[in-house]
A and B are shown apart, each in its own frame.
Chain A
Protein backbone atom coordinates (compact mmCIF):
# COMPACT_ATOMS: atom_id res chain seq x y z
CA UNK A 1 0.00 0.00 0.00
CA UNK A 2 1.74 3.16 -1.10
CA UNK A 3 1.83 6.09 1.26
CA UNK A 4 0.99 9.52 -0.02
CA UNK A 5 4.00 11.02 1.68
CA UNK A 6 6.26 8.97 -0.58
CA UNK A 7 4.86 10.63 -3.70
CA UNK A 8 6.76 13.51 -5.18
CA UNK A 9 4.14 16.21 -5.56
CA UNK A 10 6.49 19.15 -6.05
CA UNK A 11 5.36 19.77 -9.61
CA UNK A 12 1.72 19.89 -8.61
CA UNK A 13 2.07 22.05 -5.51
CA UNK A 14 0.49 25.52 -5.64
CA UNK A 15 2.76 27.94 -3.86
CA UNK A 16 0.64 31.02 -4.47
CA UNK A 17 2.90 32.52 -7.15
CA UNK A 18 2.37 32.86 -10.91
CA UNK A 19 3.41 29.96 -13.15
CA UNK A 20 6.60 30.10 -15.20
CA UNK A 21 5.03 31.13 -18.55
CA UNK A 22 3.03 33.85 -16.82
CA UNK A 23 6.18 35.14 -15.16
CA UNK A 24 7.99 35.19 -18.49
CA UNK A 25 5.09 37.03 -20.17
CA UNK A 26 4.95 39.61 -17.39
CA UNK A 27 8.69 40.11 -17.53
CA UNK A 28 8.60 40.52 -21.31
CA UNK A 29 5.80 43.08 -21.04
CA UNK A 30 7.75 44.97 -18.37
CA UNK A 31 10.86 45.04 -20.53
CA UNK A 32 8.90 46.22 -23.56
CA UNK A 33 7.28 48.96 -21.50
CA UNK A 34 10.68 50.09 -20.26
CA UNK A 35 12.17 50.06 -23.73
CA UNK A 36 9.30 51.94 -25.36
CA UNK A 37 9.21 54.50 -22.56
CA UNK A 38 12.90 55.16 -23.15
CA UNK A 39 12.61 55.68 -26.90
CA UNK A 40 9.14 57.12 -27.45
CA UNK A 41 10.03 60.81 -27.10
CA UNK A 42 13.24 60.45 -29.09
CA UNK A 43 11.31 58.63 -31.81
CA UNK A 44 8.70 61.37 -31.78
CA UNK A 45 11.36 64.06 -32.27
CA UNK A 46 12.98 62.13 -35.12
CA UNK A 47 9.60 61.76 -36.82
CA UNK A 48 8.73 65.39 -36.14
CA UNK A 49 11.96 66.63 -37.72
CA UNK A 50 11.34 64.53 -40.81
CA UNK A 51 7.58 65.12 -41.15
CA UNK A 52 7.18 68.64 -39.68
CA UNK A 53 3.84 67.66 -38.20
CA UNK A 54 3.04 66.68 -34.62
CA UNK A 55 0.04 64.48 -35.42
CA UNK A 56 1.79 62.65 -38.24
CA UNK A 57 4.83 62.14 -36.02
CA UNK A 58 2.66 60.73 -33.23
CA UNK A 59 0.88 58.42 -35.68
CA UNK A 60 4.15 57.06 -37.02
CA UNK A 61 5.54 56.48 -33.52
CA UNK A 62 2.37 54.72 -32.40
CA UNK A 63 2.39 52.50 -35.49
CA UNK A 64 6.05 51.69 -34.94
CA UNK A 65 5.44 50.70 -31.33
CA UNK A 66 2.54 48.46 -32.37
CA UNK A 67 4.56 46.79 -35.11
CA UNK A 68 7.50 46.16 -32.83
CA UNK A 69 5.29 44.62 -30.17
CA UNK A 70 3.29 42.47 -32.60
CA UNK A 71 6.16 41.21 -34.71
CA UNK A 72 9.31 41.35 -32.65
CA UNK A 73 8.30 41.10 -29.00
CA UNK A 74 9.73 37.57 -28.87
CA UNK A 75 13.13 38.74 -30.17
CA UNK A 76 15.93 39.35 -27.68
CA UNK A 77 15.57 42.81 -26.15
CA UNK A 78 19.03 43.77 -27.42
CA UNK A 79 17.62 43.68 -30.97
CA UNK A 80 14.62 45.88 -30.27
CA UNK A 81 16.40 49.20 -30.69
CA UNK A 82 17.67 48.80 -34.28
CA UNK A 83 14.43 47.02 -35.23
CA UNK A 84 12.32 49.80 -33.77
CA UNK A 85 14.26 52.52 -35.58
CA UNK A 86 14.03 50.56 -38.80
CA UNK A 87 10.24 50.36 -38.45
CA UNK A 88 10.15 54.05 -37.57
CA UNK A 89 12.24 55.10 -40.58
CA UNK A 90 10.10 52.93 -42.86
CA UNK A 91 6.99 54.55 -41.43
CA UNK A 92 8.41 58.03 -42.00
CA UNK A 93 9.37 57.16 -45.57
CA UNK A 94 5.92 55.68 -46.31
CA UNK A 95 4.18 58.76 -44.99
CA UNK A 96 6.44 61.04 -47.03
CA UNK A 97 5.62 59.02 -50.15
CA UNK A 98 1.90 59.19 -49.47
CA UNK A 99 2.22 62.93 -48.99
CA UNK A 100 4.04 63.45 -52.27
CA UNK A 101 1.41 61.38 -54.11
CA UNK A 102 -1.36 63.32 -52.40
CA UNK A 103 0.29 66.61 -53.40
CA UNK A 104 0.30 65.60 -57.07
CA UNK A 105 -3.44 64.97 -57.02
CA UNK A 106 -4.28 67.92 -54.79
CA UNK A 107 -3.43 70.46 -57.53
CA UNK A 108 -6.79 69.67 -59.17
CA UNK A 109 -8.73 69.92 -55.95
CA UNK A 110 -9.81 73.13 -54.18
CA UNK A 111 -7.18 74.34 -51.74
CA UNK A 112 -7.64 75.34 -48.11
CA UNK A 113 -8.33 78.95 -49.10
CA UNK A 114 -11.48 77.87 -50.90
CA UNK A 115 -12.61 75.85 -47.94
CA UNK A 116 -14.94 77.90 -45.72
CA UNK A 117 -13.97 75.82 -42.70
CA UNK A 118 -10.44 77.23 -42.85
CA UNK A 119 -11.47 80.90 -43.13
CA UNK A 120 -11.35 81.55 -39.42
CA UNK A 121 -8.28 80.38 -37.58
CA UNK A 122 -7.89 80.42 -33.85
CA UNK A 123 -5.51 83.35 -33.08
CA UNK A 124 -4.30 81.56 -29.93
CA UNK A 125 -2.86 78.77 -32.07
CA UNK A 126 -0.40 81.17 -33.63
CA UNK A 127 0.39 83.10 -30.47
CA UNK A 128 3.93 82.83 -29.13
CA UNK A 129 4.57 80.77 -26.02
CA UNK A 130 5.03 83.33 -23.18
CA UNK A 131 7.54 81.04 -21.46
CA UNK A 132 9.83 81.30 -24.47
CA UNK A 133 10.41 85.02 -23.85
CA UNK A 134 13.50 84.32 -21.85
CA UNK A 135 16.51 85.02 -24.10
CA UNK A 136 18.30 81.79 -23.28
CA UNK A 137 15.29 79.66 -24.12
CA UNK A 138 14.74 81.68 -27.24
CA UNK A 139 18.30 81.09 -28.39
CA UNK A 140 18.03 77.45 -27.56
CA UNK A 141 14.77 77.12 -29.39
CA UNK A 142 16.23 78.89 -32.42
CA UNK A 143 19.25 76.60 -32.41
CA UNK A 144 16.96 73.56 -32.26
CA UNK A 145 14.89 74.91 -35.12
CA UNK A 146 18.01 75.51 -37.14
CA UNK A 147 19.27 72.02 -36.47
CA UNK A 148 15.86 70.59 -37.40
CA UNK A 149 15.83 72.54 -40.65
CA UNK A 150 19.36 71.44 -41.51
CA UNK A 151 18.55 67.82 -40.79
CA UNK A 152 15.41 68.13 -42.90
CA UNK A 153 17.45 69.50 -45.78
CA UNK A 154 19.69 66.43 -45.85
CA UNK A 155 19.02 63.55 -48.26
CA UNK A 156 16.95 60.90 -46.44
CA UNK A 157 19.74 58.34 -46.09
CA UNK A 158 22.17 60.93 -44.72
CA UNK A 159 19.56 62.20 -42.26
CA UNK A 160 18.92 58.63 -41.08
CA UNK A 161 22.62 57.88 -40.68
CA UNK A 162 23.29 61.09 -38.74
CA UNK A 163 20.18 60.73 -36.56
CA UNK A 164 20.74 57.10 -35.67
CA UNK A 165 24.51 57.26 -35.26
CA UNK A 166 24.98 60.62 -33.59
CA UNK A 167 21.68 61.57 -31.99
CA UNK A 168 20.54 58.09 -30.97
CA UNK A 169 23.98 56.66 -30.31
CA UNK A 170 23.57 53.44 -32.29
CA UNK A 171 26.82 51.80 -33.36
CA UNK A 172 27.64 51.18 -37.02
CA UNK A 173 26.26 47.63 -37.02
CA UNK A 174 22.98 48.67 -35.36
CA UNK A 175 22.62 51.61 -37.71
CA UNK A 176 23.21 49.33 -40.69
CA UNK A 177 20.48 46.99 -39.42
CA UNK A 178 18.11 49.89 -38.82
CA UNK A 179 18.79 51.38 -42.27
CA UNK A 180 18.83 48.03 -44.05
CA UNK A 181 22.21 48.62 -45.68
CA UNK A 182 25.87 47.69 -45.26
CA UNK A 183 28.12 49.15 -42.58
CA UNK A 184 30.24 50.72 -45.29
CA UNK A 185 27.20 52.58 -46.62
CA UNK A 186 26.44 53.82 -43.12
CA UNK A 187 29.90 55.30 -42.81
CA UNK A 188 29.64 56.96 -46.22
CA UNK A 189 26.19 58.43 -45.53
CA UNK A 190 27.28 59.61 -42.11
CA UNK A 191 30.42 61.34 -43.29
CA UNK A 192 28.50 63.10 -46.09
CA UNK A 193 25.84 64.16 -43.59
CA UNK A 194 28.43 65.73 -41.28
CA UNK A 195 30.00 67.50 -44.26
CA UNK A 196 26.63 68.90 -45.39
CA UNK A 197 25.62 69.97 -41.90
CA UNK A 198 28.86 71.79 -41.36
CA UNK A 199 28.33 73.61 -44.65
CA UNK A 200 24.82 74.61 -43.60
CA UNK A 201 25.38 75.44 -39.95
CA UNK A 202 28.78 77.04 -40.33
CA UNK A 203 32.10 76.46 -38.64
CA UNK A 204 30.77 77.93 -35.39
CA UNK A 205 28.99 74.62 -34.84
Chain B
Protein backbone atom coordinates (compact mmCIF):
# COMPACT_ATOMS: atom_id res chain seq x y z
CA UNK B 1 0.00 0.00 0.00
CA UNK B 2 2.65 2.40 -1.00
CA UNK B 3 1.28 3.83 -4.21
CA UNK B 4 -1.68 5.74 -2.83
CA UNK B 5 -2.73 7.34 0.42
CA UNK B 6 -4.78 4.96 2.54
CA UNK B 7 -8.39 5.82 3.25
CA UNK B 8 -9.73 5.64 6.83
CA UNK B 9 -11.41 2.34 5.97
CA UNK B 10 -8.13 0.86 4.80
CA UNK B 11 -6.26 2.17 7.82
CA UNK B 12 -8.82 1.02 10.35
CA UNK B 13 -9.25 -2.41 8.81
CA UNK B 14 -5.47 -2.87 8.80
CA UNK B 15 -5.18 -1.80 12.44
CA UNK B 16 -8.00 -4.09 13.51
CA UNK B 17 -6.50 -6.99 11.61
CA UNK B 18 -3.15 -6.45 13.33
CA UNK B 19 -4.90 -6.32 16.71
CA UNK B 20 -6.70 -9.56 15.96
CA UNK B 21 -3.36 -11.18 15.16
CA UNK B 22 -1.93 -10.01 18.47
CA UNK B 23 -4.97 -11.53 20.18
CA UNK B 24 -4.52 -15.02 18.73
CA UNK B 25 -4.69 -17.33 21.72
CA UNK B 26 -1.78 -19.30 23.09
CA UNK B 27 -3.03 -22.72 22.05
CA UNK B 28 -3.21 -21.61 18.41
CA UNK B 29 0.22 -20.00 18.65
CA UNK B 30 1.63 -23.19 20.07
CA UNK B 31 0.09 -25.27 17.28
CA UNK B 32 1.43 -22.85 14.67
CA UNK B 33 4.92 -23.12 16.15
CA UNK B 34 4.73 -26.91 16.04
CA UNK B 35 3.50 -26.77 12.46
CA UNK B 36 6.40 -24.51 11.53
CA UNK B 37 8.95 -26.83 13.10
CA UNK B 38 7.40 -29.79 11.32
CA UNK B 39 7.58 -27.91 8.03
CA UNK B 40 11.23 -27.02 8.58
CA UNK B 41 12.02 -30.69 9.05
CA UNK B 42 10.97 -31.11 5.42
CA UNK B 43 13.63 -28.73 4.09
CA UNK B 44 15.22 -30.63 1.18
CA UNK B 45 18.69 -31.66 2.28
CA UNK B 46 21.58 -30.74 0.01
CA UNK B 47 23.73 -33.73 -0.86
CA UNK B 48 27.18 -33.84 0.74
CA UNK B 49 30.02 -32.74 -1.52
CA UNK B 50 33.67 -33.82 -1.54
CA UNK B 51 36.08 -31.44 -3.31
CA UNK B 52 33.16 -29.84 -5.11
CA UNK B 53 31.63 -33.11 -6.35
CA UNK B 54 28.45 -34.70 -5.01
CA UNK B 55 29.17 -37.43 -2.51
CA UNK B 56 27.37 -40.09 -4.58
CA UNK B 57 29.65 -39.44 -7.56
CA UNK B 58 32.77 -39.81 -5.43
CA UNK B 59 31.42 -43.02 -3.88
CA UNK B 60 30.53 -44.45 -7.32
CA UNK B 61 34.02 -43.62 -8.64
CA UNK B 62 35.73 -45.19 -5.66
CA UNK B 63 33.60 -48.35 -6.00
CA UNK B 64 34.39 -48.65 -9.72
CA UNK B 65 38.14 -48.25 -9.03
CA UNK B 66 38.01 -50.90 -6.32
CA UNK B 67 36.18 -53.37 -8.60
CA UNK B 68 38.75 -52.79 -11.38
CA UNK B 69 41.66 -53.29 -8.98
CA UNK B 70 40.21 -56.57 -7.65
CA UNK B 71 39.56 -57.84 -11.20
CA UNK B 72 43.15 -57.07 -12.27
CA UNK B 73 44.56 -58.71 -9.18
CA UNK B 74 42.60 -61.93 -9.78
CA UNK B 75 43.58 -61.99 -13.47
CA UNK B 76 47.29 -61.55 -12.82
CA UNK B 77 47.49 -63.86 -9.83
CA UNK B 78 45.69 -66.73 -11.71
CA UNK B 79 48.75 -67.19 -14.07
CA UNK B 80 48.65 -68.95 -17.49
CA UNK B 81 45.46 -70.87 -16.62
CA UNK B 82 43.56 -67.66 -16.74
CA UNK B 83 44.56 -66.91 -20.34
CA UNK B 84 44.43 -70.48 -21.72
CA UNK B 85 46.56 -73.61 -21.56
CA UNK B 86 47.77 -73.38 -25.21
CA UNK B 87 49.09 -69.90 -24.90
CA UNK B 88 52.80 -70.01 -25.79
CA UNK B 89 53.64 -66.59 -24.46
CA UNK B 90 55.84 -66.66 -21.36
CA UNK B 91 54.08 -65.80 -18.19
CA UNK B 92 55.42 -63.47 -15.58
CA UNK B 93 56.25 -66.51 -13.49
CA UNK B 94 58.49 -67.93 -16.28
CA UNK B 95 60.25 -64.62 -16.67
CA UNK B 96 60.97 -64.69 -12.99
CA UNK B 97 62.54 -68.12 -13.23
CA UNK B 98 64.72 -67.08 -16.15
CA UNK B 99 65.84 -63.96 -14.42
CA UNK B 100 66.70 -65.75 -11.23
CA UNK B 101 68.60 -68.71 -12.83
CA UNK B 102 70.49 -67.11 -15.74
CA UNK B 103 71.26 -63.63 -14.60
CA UNK B 104 71.06 -63.31 -10.93
CA UNK B 105 72.55 -66.50 -9.56
CA UNK B 106 76.27 -67.42 -9.13
CA UNK B 107 75.74 -70.83 -10.82
CA UNK B 108 74.85 -69.17 -14.11
CA UNK B 109 77.95 -66.98 -14.05
CA UNK B 110 80.16 -70.05 -13.31
CA UNK B 111 78.62 -71.97 -16.24
CA UNK B 112 79.30 -69.08 -18.60
CA UNK B 113 82.96 -68.90 -17.41
CA UNK B 114 83.37 -72.69 -17.98
CA UNK B 115 82.10 -72.30 -21.53
CA UNK B 116 84.65 -69.58 -22.27
CA UNK B 117 87.48 -71.70 -20.87
CA UNK B 118 86.35 -74.68 -22.90
CA UNK B 119 86.23 -72.79 -26.20
CA UNK B 120 89.69 -71.25 -25.47
CA UNK B 121 91.16 -74.74 -24.83
CA UNK B 122 89.64 -76.07 -28.13
CA UNK B 123 91.13 -73.17 -30.07
CA UNK B 124 94.58 -73.72 -28.52
CA UNK B 125 94.51 -77.45 -29.32
CA UNK B 126 93.60 -76.75 -32.92
CA UNK B 127 96.55 -74.37 -33.30
CA UNK B 128 99.13 -76.93 -32.00
CA UNK B 129 100.87 -79.33 -34.55
CA UNK B 130 99.61 -82.92 -34.49
CA UNK B 131 101.70 -85.95 -33.24
CA UNK B 132 102.31 -87.16 -36.80
CA UNK B 133 103.99 -83.95 -37.92
CA UNK B 134 107.70 -84.14 -38.65
CA UNK B 135 109.81 -81.52 -37.29
Looking at the assembled complex, report how far the CB atom of A63 sits from the nearest CB atom of chain B, in whole angstroms. 9
Q: Mark A29-51, 1 if CB is under 8 A from B, else 0.
A: 10011001100111011000000
Q: Which residues of B contact A41 (CB under 8 A)?
A: 21, 24, 28-29, 32
B64 interface residue (CB < 8 Å to A): no
Q: Which of B1, B14, B28 contacts A44 (CB 8 A)?
A: B28
Known: A41-B21, A144-B19, A194-B10. A62 touches B39 (CB 8 A): yes
Total number of B residues with any Cβ neighbor in A under 8 Å: 36
Interface residues of A in 133-172 (CB under 8 A from B): 140, 143-144, 147-148, 162, 165-167, 169, 171-172
Q: Given A29-B40, A41-B21, A44-B28, check contact A198 B1 (CB 8 Å).
A: no
Whole-angstrom distance from the CB of A187 to the nearest CB of chain B? 10
A205 within 8 A of B: yes
Give the nearest-CB partner of A169 in chain B: B1
Interface residue tally for chain A (C-beta within 8 Å): 44
**CB neighbours of A33 from chain B (8 A):** 36, 40
Instruction: Tell me, yes or no, whether A181 is within 8 Å of chain B by CB.
Output: no
CB distance from B13 to the nearest CB of A (A): 6
B8 at the interface (CB under 8 A from A): yes
Q: Quick check: B17 and A37 within 8 Å, CB to CB?
A: no
Residues in A whose Cβ lies below 8 Å from that of B20: 45, 144, 148
The smallest C-beta distance from A200 to any residue of chain B, in angstroms, reads 10
Report the Cα distance A140→B48, complex, angstroms: 53
A52-B32 Cα distance, complex, nearest whole Å: 17
Taking CB atoms, residues of chain B closer than 8 Å to A69 are: 39-40, 42-43
CB distance B46 to A21 under 8 Å?
Answer: yes
Residue B60 CB within 8 A of the other chain? no
CA gap between A68 and B38 in the complex, in Å: 12
Task: For the complex formed, measure the closest distance between the CB of A203 and the CB atoms of chain B, giving whole angstroms.
Answer: 9
What 20 new A-B contacts, CB under 8 Å, besides A40-B36, A45-B20, A194-B10? Answer: A19-B49, A25-B45, A29-B43, A36-B39, A41-B29, A44-B32, A58-B31, A58-B32, A61-B35, A66-B38, A69-B42, A70-B42, A73-B44, A143-B16, A144-B17, A144-B23, A162-B13, A166-B6, A197-B13, A205-B13
**Residues on A facing B (Cβ under 8 Å):** 11, 19, 21, 24-25, 28-29, 32-33, 36-37, 40-42, 44-45, 54, 58, 61-62, 65-66, 68-70, 73-74, 140, 143-144, 147-148, 162, 165-167, 169, 171-172, 194, 197-198, 201, 205
Chain B residues in contact with chain A, CB under 8 A?
1-3, 6-10, 12-14, 16-17, 19-21, 23-24, 28-29, 31-33, 35-36, 38-40, 42-46, 48-49, 51
